[in-house]
Amino acid sequence: MAAPAAPLIAFRDVRRVYGTGEAEVRALDGVSLSIARGEFVAIMGPSGSGKSTAMNIIGCLDRPSSGDYLFAGTPVQGLSNDQRALLRRHALGFVFQGFNLLARTSALENVELPLIYKGLPRDERKARARAALAKVGLQGREDHDPSQLSGGQQQRVAIARALAGDPTVILADEPTGNLDSHRSHEIMQLLQRLNREEGITIVMVTHEEDIAAYAGRLLVFVDGHLARDVPQEPRG
């Protein structure tokens, strides 16, 4: 797609403004950053700092009001809704705080979901979904409903779903927010392993220092600005 030197994710003076006049809120106020392929980046910041907005823009769920967002060298703001859906389908995987699994739908079918939209034949879908569940340590739980799984297991299913689409980037929005500290560390070790062994770029929003410590780089947002951007020695 792009020259190897181009960063995977690049913001150039990105602004995101909600509302107009008195009610105007500048969620992002001129942010520039770049993330290279294979990085594990944690984004921190108080609520209202713009970290979630940044995440939504990276995830092609939202568009900057001004400035450029380039994904693998391609300007995303020029893409149509459908083109951004295709980008999500082929390059991005999402992991949410609330897991966001389909209720009354087995783990296997949940993991299959992105593969249905990729148009894979049934057999291949099943095989890849099983492989993804095995990677997150859930072999044998394929037929369980989300309600039959613990929070940690549900988040593993969600990670398997993100993984099944063979993404370049996994975007994790407070992935441990609903988990106890033991499960949290297990999930973080899983994400770290995927980053190291599969070479998947991971961008994670969190407000917990010890969770952010698993990343190799820390971005801190304050009032819509990127306040700090520091590399760190990942724990574990």
Partner 1 sequence: MLWETVRLAFTAIIRNKLRSFLTVLGVVIGVAAVIAMVTIGRGSSQSVTASVEALGANVLVVRPGQRMMGPPTGADAPRFDLKDAEALGELSSVAAVAPSVTSSQTVVAGNANAATQIVGTTAAYLTVQNWPLAMGRAFSDGEVQAGSAVCVLGQTVRATLFGSGDPIGQTLRIKGVSCEVIGVLAAKGAGSFGQDQDDVLLMPARTVQRRLEGDSDVNSISVALRQQATSEEGVRQVSEFLRERRRIGLGQRDNFSVTDMKEFANVLSGVNAVLTSLLSAVAAVSLLVGGIGIMNIMLVSVTERTREIGIRLAVGATSGQVLQQFLVEAVVLSVLGGALGIAAGLGLAWGGSVFMSIPFAPSAPVVALAFVFSAVVGVVFGYFPARSAARLDPIEALRHQ
In the complex, least distance from residue 94 CB atom to partner 1, rounded to whole angstroms: 5
Q: Closest Cα to residue 107, out of 137, 77, 86?
A: 137
Cβ closest to partner 1, residue 29 vs residue 145: 145
Instruction: Please give the helix or strand (H or E) that residue 35 lies within, else none.
Output: strand 25-35
**Which residues lie below 8 Å from residue 119, measured CB to CB, with a gap of 6+?**
none
Cβ closest to partner 1, residue 1 vs residue 103: 103
By three-state DSSP, how is residue 209 classified? helix
What letter would DSSP give residue 69?
E
Stretch that binds partner 1, among 23-31, 65-73, 99-107, 203-211 (CB under 8 A): 99-107
Residue 225 Cα to chain centre, angstroms:
20
Which x/- pattern, by CB under 8 A, does the window 191-230 give for partner 1?
----------------------------------------
20, 165 in Cβ contact below 8 A? Answer: no
Which one of 17, 79, 113, 222 is in contact with partner 1 (CB under 8 A)? Answer: 113
Give the C-alpha separation, 190 to 235, whole Å.
13
Does residue 50 touch partner 1 according to CB under 8 A? Answer: no
Stretch that binds partner 1, among 32-40, 55-63, 182-190, 224-232 (CB under 8 A): 55-63
In the complex, least distance from residue 233 CB atom to partner 1, rounded to whole angstroms: 32
Does residue 89 touch partner 1 according to CB under 8 A? Answer: yes
165, 197 in Cβ contact below 8 A? Answer: no
Does residue 100 touch partner 1 according to CB under 8 A? Answer: yes
In the complex, least distance from residue 99 CB atom to partner 1, rounded to whole angstroms: 10
Give the C-alpha separation, 210 to 219, whole Å.
14
Which one of 88, 128, 130, 217 is in contact with partner 1 (CB under 8 A)? Answer: 88
Which one of 165, 191, 195, 205 is in contact with partner 1 (CB under 8 A)? Answer: 165
Residues in the chain: 236
209 to 29, 45, 98, 214, 230: CA distances (angstroms): 25, 11, 20, 9, 14
Cβ closest to partner 1, residue 126 vs residue 185: 126
Among left, alpha and beta (phi > 0; psi -120 to 50; other), residue 196 is alpha
Does residue 61 touch partner 1 according to CB under 8 A? Answer: yes
Question: Where do contacts with partner 1 occur on this chain (CB under 8 A)?
Answer: 56, 59, 61-62, 81-82, 85-86, 88-90, 92, 94, 96, 100-102, 104, 113-114, 116-119, 161, 165
